[in-house]
Structure 1
Amino acid sequence: MRISKYLKMLVLCLVIVSCGSNNETEKNTPQKAEVINSAKGKLFIIGGGKRPPELIKKLVEISSFKKEDYIAILPMSSSEPDSAVYYASKQFLDLGISHKKIKGFNFSKDSLPQQWLDSLEKAKLIYISGGDQTKFMEIVANTPIENAIKSAYKNGSTIAGTSAGAAVMSAKMITGDEFKHPVYTGDFRTIEADNMELVEGLGLVKNAIIDQHFIQRMRMNRLLSVALENPNETAIGIDESTAIIVEGDSATVAGKSQVIVLKNKASQIIKENGLLGGDSLQTQVVLPGGKFSLINK
């Protein structure tokens, strides 16, 4: 048993090697890739927290993963990218996937190796770790990395992400910062106008905004604020150990908890004395196995 444990550690170390820095830089100036509605791939968006083995097994199953396929892990959200690759890899290894089929690519602004980009575009499953979604997008936005992710999704790959890796799926991305309360506490005590910061995300989910750790961290005020100020978007709060599987314009809930869906049917944004109001919010609490539409009409 001890030998088996050491061998497993060695395998994981081999996976992490590819996550290290690489001095070769691709200097092409990319044109921004757009995801079309007919993308052949799926999205597997996890709300953070613990990832039960059954959830990761479901991810591999919906990806239609075959022997010739491989997984690309993107750890750029994390302050400890090697650890992010290690723990993500371990869950795939525990399902019997060979370490040879798992690649970690720790891109940076100054390091965009072409061979990594080519591998990313051809990966059957791309997994984006947790951490800081703003950090991830500062590296990825408007680069060949973003193009490769979108090309893979368009051509049939599954794009997965947890926590920060869930937030980046939206075109409008929640950063977690508040303009009116700049000291971050993790508590969202108000429903105020012009408060929640939204920036550009990957835009793999059209006309929807993703929040995560949702029920566990009591983020309803945050999502209500976002929904009230973005009436054309579907606001989605995914709880921990829970995921939504997006195919086309609909999503299915998987995992252990619920997903909250807010759709603001109002034609205008209501503000008064700095506060937000509304009387046209549709609310869904979707249980595991349940489905909902991403379209807000």
Structure 2
Amino acid sequence: MNRRDVLGGVTALGAAALAGRPAWAQTPKISRLVIVGGAEDRLQDRLILRKFTDYCGGSQARIRVITAASGDPEGVWQSYQNAFRSIGVEDVQRLAIDDRDSAHAASLQTEILQADGIFMSGGDQSKLMDTLWDTPAYQSLHQSFHLHRCCIGGTSAGAAVMSRHMIAQGPAVLRPSKEAVDTDIGLGLLSQAVVDQHFSERRRLARLLSTLAMRPDLLGVGIDEDTALVIERGEAMEVIGKGTVTLVDPSQMQSNVNELETLEQIEMLGVQLHVLPAGHRYSLKTLAKTTRSVPLRRVIQRLVAVGPIRG
């Protein structure tokens, strides 16, 4: 089945999937997504990977790496293996997802369901989704996150696939333009947003705005390199690393996009933008006590909302 034919569709898998994880497995207290803008440090302080490891349960956590997006999966795996072992992780392994056939392997489902953390590398997000879409591995990722509270991280292409509506390709357009960006279906772990990475470095604001002009029901999330947006499901979000996260809310936007031809420039009025630097954490409980950040609170409520299990 073509992914685009079911963009936005929902299928519940049910709580019976809990049987896939043994009782002795340690479970992190909160389900988290660690969405990295690419080019995270793997050689020096490794801050983002250290934090990811902490979220997974520390050095004893079972961390699994997916390199299916990469054109050099073995080389990328060696880089992450060295990085995680350098910060003390004892059980880090690559998930052997090389094609759609391997994504159906029963042993792979068990590995995913027993993991404390799963990290997806960069590369080509469409290649990654071509491999995972509508497979048991795809279903197991949802079960692991929603039912087992596994921490799931992804960088660059691995970040792009976090959202249900994914930027598949498109130039860093200089101005918001109609249909300038090609979108596809992603994993859907982040249900109400679309993610763009390498955001400041590749000047992708206009690209994100072009996407949102066509889908004003979504939030835009732009993440700088060596920076991560950490989402604590239902509770809070935090920015870690060295750069910023840009949140774009088009919910009050007025636009002429429906009157335009393809690639014509778009008028977009009333778009709200929030720039969140690394080192800041935003809790719904804390924001509820102040009226200063009402627009931001509404955005965060949508970002941390518990989405459906998909399969």
- 2:248 is matched with which residue? 262
2:55 is matched with which residue: 62, 65, 70?
A: 62
TM-score by length of 1: 0.79
Cα contact 1:32–1:142 (8 A) shared by 2:
no
* Partner SS state of residue 189, structure 2: coil
* Native 8 Å contact 2:59 2:88 kept in 1: no
Partner residue in 1 for 2:292? none
Shift of 1:277: 1.8
Q: How far 1:66 sits from its partner (Å)?
A: 5.8
CA distance in 1, matches of 2:274, 2:53: 28
Partner Cα distance (1:194, 1:161) in 2: 26
1:78 matched to 2:70: yes
1:267 and 1:260 map into 2 onto residues whose CA distance is 17
Cα distance in 2 for partners of 1:270, 1:141 equals: 34
Q: Determine the structure 2 residue equivalent to 1:4.
A: none
- Within 5 A, what are the aligned runs for 1:1-297? 40-51=30-41, 52-65=45-58, 67=60, 69-98=61-90, 101-107=91-97, 108-111=99-102, 112-154=104-146, 155-177=148-170, 186-249=171-234, 250-266=236-252, 269-271=255-257, 272-273=259-260, 274-290=264-280, 291=282, 293-295=299-301
Distance 1:35 1:78, change over 3 A: farther
Separation (CA, whole Å) in 1 of partners of 2:248 and 2:202:
17
- What is the alpha-carbon distance in structure 2 between the residues aligned to residue 269 and residue 120 of structure 1? 43
SS for the counterpart of 1:222 is helix
Note the aligned Cα RMSD (angstroms): 2.3
Q: Is contact 2:162–2:189 with CA below 8 Å preserved after alignment?
A: yes
Q: Secondary structure at the match of 2:109?
A: helix
Query: Which residue identity does 1:65 align to in structure 2?
Result: G
Structure 1: 5+ residue runs without aligned partners?
1-30, 178-185
TM-score normalised by the chain length of structure 2: 0.76
Q: Which contiguous aligned blocks of 4+ residues in structure 1 show a shift greater than 4 angstroms?
A: 31-36
Name the SS of the counterpart of 1:204 in structure 2: coil
Cα separation, 1, equivalents of 2:211 and 2:252: 13
**CA 35–253 in structure 1, closer or farther in 2 if over 3 Å, else same:** farther
What's 1:183 paired with?
none
**Aligned-pair CA distance for 1:203:** 0.5
Separation in 1 of the partners of 2:132 and 2:237? 25
Q: What is the count of residue pairs matched by the alignment?
A: 254
CA distance in 2: counterparts of 1:219 and 1:172, whole angstroms: 17
- Over 3 Å counting, the alpha-carbon distance change for 1:294 and 1:199 in structure 2 is farther
Q: Give per-residue Cα distances to partners, 1:96-129, cap 9 Å, x unaligned.
A: 112xx11112311122321122111110000100
